[in-house]
Amino acid sequence: MLNLESNEKALYRIMSKCAICPKKCGSNRNKGHKGVCKAVDEIVIASICVHRGEEPPISAINGSGAVFFSNCTLSCIFCQNYPISQLGNGKKISVEDLVNIMLDFQLKEVHNINFVTPTHYSAQIVRAVLIARKNGLKLPIIYNCSGYEEIETLKLLEGIVDIYLPDIKYSNNETAYKYSGVKDYVEISRVALKEMNKQVGTLKVDDKGVARKGLIVRHLVLPGNIENTKKVLEFVVRELPKDTFVSLMSQYQPAYKSNSFKELSRSLSKEEYEVAVNYLRLLNFRNGWIQNLYNF
């Protein structure tokens, strides 16, 4: 039996010498000190919206209730949301505000609460979800993250998160360091994915095709990095169940500091994306989406 109140307390304790993400920078965020990710104790959000462009079972008919958090535990040089993720633009809100956002979304009859870039606010999110559930929240909770997740934090999210939506970015640490500034992405993300799968399993949908629970693995194909994509897909097919849902994304566009690397200073070519899609098929993935959200 999960004791979610004690999970909440544990997460807040972890924030006193912050080890919420794998960077474990040790900042005392409970005292308002800034971490490497620039997050403090207060929640900062950039926007909220009813998102209609997520994968079909997530946006489905009425849309997904998205909350975009400011700051990030990674520093990807190609981040399209860099004003939010790297510059920290946004406004401070309280846990109670987050509760109200969720309950308002439920009144709008969206299908889920979609926490985008939630990692550094895991403690506050757990507190808010527990209060919202006591006040009638029934919607599934989505953890829409980068895959660079601390295993101990993930374990404390069991019973809170219904749908994990990680974007697995890299299959080698050299590339991860070059583009996102971390040297241990591969090991960390692989352990994290297995834990996510252990907690929620393969994606389950209701009779209308709306996601209720499970794991969807995203991967953004980067230009000039097709081998990276192939190895990411190989990992998924080798280490996760055969019916795992994969969302292969092609929407890369140069942004932020991507011009620092020649290969990232252009969009993905049609040919590169076709190579990625063909590889996905070669590996016999059964479930998921390619961009434009065509089923394969």
At closest approach, how far in Å is the CB of 83 from ligand SF4?
A: 18
Stretch binding ligand SF4 (CB under 6 A), from 15-23, 85-93, 139-147, 168-176: 15-23
10 Å Cβ neighbour count for 167? 17
Asked if 24 is part of the footprint of ligand SF4 (rule: CB under 6 A), the reply reads yes
* Contacts to ligand SF4 from residues 103-122, by CB under 6 A: 120
Question: Following CA atoms 134, 14, 81, 160 in sequence, which dihedral angle do they give, to the nearest 10 degrees?
Answer: -30
Bridge partners of 66? 49, 114
**Binding test (CB under 6 A) with ligand SF4, winner from 8, 11, 21, 45:** 21
Part of the chain binding ligand SF4 (CB under 6 A), chosen from 28-36, 61-69, 110-118, 257-265? 28-36
Stretch that binds ligand SF4, among 35-43, 92-100, 155-163, 182-190 (CB under 6 A): 35-43
| Contact of 156 with 11, CB cutoff 8 Å | yes
Among 39, 58, 176, 215, binds ligand SF4 (CB under 6 A): 39
β-strand pairing of 113-116 with 141-145: parallel
Question: Nearer Cβ to ligand SF4, position 149 or 272?
Answer: 149
| One residue of 19, 50, 103, 191 binding ligand SF4 per CB under 6 A | 19
Query: Look-up: residue for tokens 């924030």?
Result: 15
The residue number whose beta carbon is nearest to ligand SF4 equals 35
Closest distance to ligand SF4 from the beta carbon of 150 (Å): 8
Closest approach of ligand SF4 to the CB of residue 274, in Å: 37
Should residue 16 be labelled a site residue for ligand SF4 when binding is judged by CB under 6 A?
Answer: no
22 burial via Cβ count (<10 Å: 0-12, 13-18, 19+): buried
Q: What is d(CA 203, CA 200) in angstroms, rounded to the nearest whole number?
A: 8
Q: Looking at 4, 28, 30, 36, which residue binds ligand SF4 (CB under 6 A)? A: 36
Residue from 8, 11, 27, 223 binding ligand SF4 (CB under 6 A): 27
Pure H helices in 146-184: 151-155, 173-180
Q: Is residue 84 classed as helix, strand or coil in its secondary structure?
A: helix
Query: Is residue 57 a contact point for ligand SF4 (CB under 6 A)?
Result: no
Taking CB under 6 A as the criterion, the residue among 4, 10, 25, 103 binding ligand SF4 is 25
H or E segment to which residue 46 belongs:
strand 43-51
Give the separation between CA 182 and CA 194, rounded to whole angstroms. Answer: 20
C-beta atoms surrounding 242 within 10 Å: 12
Residues 232-271 that bind ligand SF4 (CB under 6 A): none
Query: Does 10 interact with ligand SF4 (rule: CB under 6 A)?
Result: no
Residue 191 contacts ligand SF4 per CB under 6 A: no
DSSP assignment of 112-125, as one string?
Answer: -EEEES-GGGHHHH
Q: How far apart are the first and last CA of the chain?
A: 38
| Positions that interact with ligand SF4 (CB under 6 A) | 18-21, 23-25, 27, 29, 35-37, 39, 73, 120
